[in-house]
Structure 1
Amino acid sequence: MVKMNSSRTALFLIIFGLFQLAFSVLSAFPPSRKRIGRVPLWNATLVDKLKQDLLLNYDKFARPTQHTNVTTVRFGMEIKHVEVNEFKSTVTIVGWTRLVWSDDKLKWETENYGGVGMFHVAPHEIWQPDLVLQNSATTTGVAQDSVYLLVYNAGEILWVPTSTFPILCEFNFEMWPFDQHRCKLIIGSWTYHSDHIHLEYDGNELKKIVNVRNSDGVLDWNITDFEYLTNSRDFCCGNFYPTLVIKFTLQRITNSYKSLILTPLIVVIVLTLLSFWLPPKSEEKILLNLITISVIVALMLYFAQKLPALGNNTPLIVKFYASALIITTLSIINAVLIIYLSKTPRKYPIPWILRNVLIGRLGIYLGLSNYITQANLGNQRNKPLENQDSFHSGKYQEDWILLAAAIDRISFLIYTIIFIILISKHTV
């Protein structure tokens, strides 16, 4: 039994010694380290070799030039579509943005890479200027997609992403629908000062006139008068940030509004003034004025749908129709008075002084010749006898009709003058 235990102990010591020997041998060799550098690729192309040489240790968060140098970023754009939202005071411009800058880290000799002078990179691979739309209504980024950038051997970077610029614009509806508005895009760097980045406009000039169509394909606006300004803005602590301002004018196309606005305007004026030329006893005076009020109310409802409720300025055309509504209401009151004077039987004549004025030159100038003749004939026909003590009811009705017609003509002149004043002040 003692001999068997001794054999097991000896075997254990031998195995332990072998493990210790193997550990010592392995410890004598240093551990293998991961090689830093370009890793050969299977079937690698010259572009693969070029990108690995340039981008292996590239820091995309550092501006690619010395801190004492200024990176010039050239900005250009081409407008493809514009959408105007008058209720939200926003203008959304969709187009192609063109950005060009120089990257000192991405330069190479073309002969060293088989004549390769350009390659593509994704936006997340290299540094880009942090340009934002500073007067944006929603998003602030200039680029809205991840299209590739073009890198040229001289270090020039070209990036042409599609962009959407939802800008805030202060609308003035005072001259609606013949209005125009001055808007602007303010594009600038978010974190780099003017000592780091310089912005300038470059590329194709924007068209002098850009047509804006709505969803139905109808032309609604023209964009004109482009102006480009570059400056620096001090947001805080004396740090100036580069900005590029593109100003433009939105001009509404009024072809579809002329007939819609001007035709009811003429109808309102004609119907209101025509009611004064109807015979004094005619009850159609009230009907014409009610039709006029209906037209004005319909137009006001239309304006409520087309215009923002909280606009900066009330359109002049709305003020005109609001004034016309008051005038037409007064015209109805005037018509009721005229009908009452001409239809109600009278026992007594109108004051003789007033009658003499109406049958004189004033009546002729007012176009009351027919009514003057009728009043004179009626006065002679109804002249009382010497022994007659009283007159029958309605004997002087023609005189009162003459007075009602005179009030109509004078009201016509007053209303005409009022409409002329309203048109001169409240229309274009």
Structure 2
Amino acid sequence: MKTGHILVFFLGSFIKASGDPIEAQLLSDLFYNYTPMERPINQHRNALKVNLKLTIQQIIDIDEKNQIMKANGWMDMTWNNYRMNWIPEHYDNLTKVRIPYDRIWVPDLLLYNSASERFDPFIHTHITVDHKGNNLYVPPALFESTCKIDVSNFPFDRQNCSLKFGIWTYTGELVDLQFEKGNGTDITEYMPNGEWKLISIDAQRHYIDYKCCPDKFVDITFYICLERRSMFYIINLVLPCILNSLLTLLTFILPAQAGEKITLSITVLLAQIVFMLLVMESMPATSDATPLISKYFTFSLFYVCASVGGTVVVLSLHYFVPEMWGPMSPAMRKLWLEFLPKLLHFKKHENGTYMVAEDPSQKLKCLCNYDIRKDRYEDEKRSSQQPNYQDIRMLRNVHRHLRYVAHKFASDEKWEFARLEWQFAASVLDRLCFYFFTVMVFIATLSTLFAVPSINKGFYPPTVEGYT
């Protein structure tokens, strides 16, 4: 047992002794009488310059409900530490060393508009230090920032999110934050997102006086412009809604006798409500703006409800009972049987009207108004024979029965013709509603399309080329 312990001790001593003595000596010299709490500047009145460069690797998600943008990448931080320099020739031409971040001064850079529970988005790594004292710190990070979501043009919208970085404790007089030449960003490693298209990234430096503190602080804010790829929503929401709206028109093509007219109208209405619920699930509960697609769905819901009301009126006219409520008034007949059919281009028939059926008021008129006494007197004048009063009595009975039958037929045909007039009025209203709602569907669809920013080119400024 003792022999094993002795062997392990000698092996550990050998491994320790086999390390690079030059790098160990360099680190020992660098950290001699050094404290990481010291701001690495030779004059405390001077500001230490720290350069930033943001590399975005991927836009992970835009959470519209919670108004959070998630992205990953890394931040390049460079500064000069006057205590960390050496002459490479004294250390076998060693020009760079890697030092743990907690052993050396590091700017306490934080994401001001962080939405993460940790608040600090960085995963701390080693710092690369060269012989001139230049420090390079490249911590990877998962950025979760608050982002004001503007849903007024959803799903054809653009969002402007920001990542605001700043030193938490050092004022602008102590640490001067700057972004590297250009716009301080790098997208060479960017992976395109399936839902969002990266339009531009710009950096701006701000020097702000906060109410909490007497001194001013510097921050670097990276503004990220994203455009939604709307094909998914066009295929799964917009097109089904347009097709569902077109089904409204079929309601007025379906004959009233089919019995499924009102059923189709209500089915279309329920489908429209389902589409609205699907949109509401992905939208933040805000009253600041109404999404474009919600405006379209609301307008569509309005005319679908109106079409249900129109269908009810059409069916009421079709199944109108004239024996109970009476025939059409002259004004109604003028409107529904003459003016509107002419306006809606109904076809005139050979009888000069728009209805095939003729007015039965002239039918059986001769029989109903026939005077048998006058006819008998004329027969007596032409005949030299004495009239047979028994035959005349029989003819009177026959005539009375025929008049009753004629009146019965005339009354039945009168009410049947009145019923046909109301049914014809229902068909006129059907065609009127068809034309009206066709115009409404096209107005709603075209007005929504022309409000889309990608079609209305003047809504957004020109995009920056080179971003995908």
TM-score tier, shorter chain, comes to: 0.7 to 0.9
2:53 paired with 1:72 = no
- Provide, for residues 53-111 of structure 1, a one-character-per-residue CA deviation record: whole Å limited to 9, x for no partner: 11121111111112122211111122223222222211111112211110011111112
For the 8 Å contact 1:286–1:335, the answer to whether it is kept is: yes
Describe the SS at the equivalent of 1:271.
helix
For the 8 Å contact 1:221–1:253, the answer to whether it is kept is: yes
Equivalent residue number for residue 186 of structure 2: 206
For the 8 Å contact 2:64–2:284, the answer to whether it is kept is: yes
Equivalent residue number for residue 158 of structure 1: 136
Decide whether aligned partners of structure 1 residues 142 and 328 sit closer, same or farther in structure 2, where only a CA change above 3 A counts: closer
The one of 101, 104, 119 aligned to 1:140? 119
Equivalent residue number for residue 89 of structure 2: 111
The structural deviation recorded for 1:385 is 4.2
2:255 paired with 1:279 = yes
Describe the SS at the equivalent of 2:33.
coil
2:290 paired with 1:314 = yes
For the 8 Å contact 1:142–1:165, the answer to whether it is kept is: yes
- Residues 48-87 of structure 1 correspond to what in structure 2 (within 5 A)? 48-65=24-41, 66-84=43-61, 85-87=63-65
Deviates more, 1:186-195 or 1:365-374: 365-374
Q: Which residue identity does 1:409 align to in structure 2? A: R
The one of 227, 243, 247 aligned to 2:223? 247
For the 8 Å contact 2:57–2:187, the answer to whether it is kept is: no
Give the aligned length: 382
For the 8 Å contact 1:209–1:224, the answer to whether it is kept is: no
The structural deviation recorded for 1:422 is 3.3
Deviates more, 1:321-330 or 1:227-236: 321-330
Distance in 2 (alpha carbons) for counterparts of 1:176 and 1:152: 50
Decide whether aligned partners of structure 1 residues 110 and 378 sit closer, same or farther in structure 2, where only a CA change above 3 A counts: same
Describe the SS at the equivalent of 2:102.
coil
Distance in 2 (alpha carbons) for counterparts of 1:385 and 1:208: 95
Distance in 1 (alpha carbons) for counterparts of 2:275 and 2:348: 39
CA RMSD of aligned residues (A): 2.8
Deviates more, 1:377-386 or 1:395-404: 377-386
Decide whether aligned partners of structure 1 residues 344 and 356 sit closer, same or farther in structure 2, where only a CA change above 3 A counts: closer
Decide whether aligned partners of structure 1 residues 420 and 198 sit closer, same or farther in structure 2, where only a CA change above 3 A counts: same
Return the TM-score normalized by structure 1: 0.81
The structural deviation recorded for 1:413 is 3.4
Equivalent residue number for residue 411 of structure 1: 433
Equivalent residue number for residue 391 of structure 1: 411
Distance in 1 (alpha carbons) for counterparts of 2:142 and 2:196: 18
For the 8 Å contact 1:105–1:155, the answer to whether it is kept is: yes
- Provide, for residues 311-354 of structure 1, a one-character-per-residue CA deviation record: whole Å limited to 9, x for no partner: 74332222322332343233223212212212334244323344
Distance in 1 (alpha carbons) for counterparts of 2:258 and 2:316: 11
Question: Taking CA–CA contacts closer than 8 Å with sequence separation of 6 or more, which of the two structures ends up with the larger relative contact order?
Answer: 2
- Provide, for residues 382-402 of structure 1, a one-character-per-residue CA deviation record: whole Å limited to 9, x for no partner: 545444767223232221122
Decide whether aligned partners of structure 1 residues 373 and 187 sit closer, same or farther in structure 2, where only a CA change above 3 A counts: farther
- Residues 182-221 of structure 1 correspond to what in structure 2 (within 5 A)? 182-202=160-180, 205-207=185-187, 210-213=190-193, 219-221=194-196
Equivalent residue number for residue 151 of structure 2: 173
Q: Which residue identity does 1:275 align to in structure 2? A: T
Determine what percentage of the aligned residue pairs are the same residue.
24
For the 8 Å contact 1:281–1:338, the answer to whether it is kept is: no
Describe the SS at the equivalent of 1:198.
strand
The structural deviation recorded for 1:287 is 2.5
Describe the SS at the equivalent of 2:210.
strand
Equivalent residue number for residue 400 of structure 1: 422
Distance in 1 (alpha carbons) for counterparts of 2:260 and 2:306: 16
Decide whether aligned partners of structure 1 residues 102 and 208 sit closer, same or farther in structure 2, where only a CA change above 3 A counts: closer
The answer for unaligned runs of 5 or more in structure 1 is 1-40, 214-218
2:222 paired with 1:222 = no
Equivalent residue number for residue 401 of structure 2: none
Distance in 2 (alpha carbons) for counterparts of 1:338 and 1:42: 100
The one of 68, 80, 83 aligned to 1:90? 68
- Provide, for residues 153-173 of structure 1, a one-character-per-residue CA deviation record: whole Å limited to 9, x for no partner: 111001111112110001112
Describe the SS at the equivalent of 2:103.
coil
Q: Which structure features the higher share of helix residues?
A: 2
For the 8 Å contact 2:58–2:73, the answer to whether it is kept is: yes
Describe the SS at the equivalent of 1:396.
helix
Describe the SS at the equivalent of 2:241.
helix
Decide whether aligned partners of structure 1 residues 208 and 117 sit closer, same or farther in structure 2, where only a CA change above 3 A counts: closer
Q: Which residue identity does 1:183 align to in structure 2? A: C
The answer for unaligned runs of 5 or more in structure 2 is 1-15, 369-405, 453-468
Equivalent residue number for residue 364 of structure 1: 342
For the 8 Å contact 1:98–1:159, the answer to whether it is kept is: yes
Equivalent residue number for residue 318 of structure 2: 342
Q: Which residue identity does 1:243 align to in structure 2? A: D
The structural deviation recorded for 1:275 is 1.5
Describe the SS at the equivalent of 1:82.
strand
Q: Which residue identity does 2:207 align to in structure 1? A: S
Q: Which residue identity does 2:73 align to in structure 1? A: G
Equivalent residue number for residue 460 of structure 2: none
For the 8 Å contact 1:293–1:328, the answer to whether it is kept is: yes
Distance in 2 (alpha carbons) for counterparts of 1:239 and 1:404: 79
Distance in 2 (alpha carbons) for counterparts of 1:311 and 1:212: 31
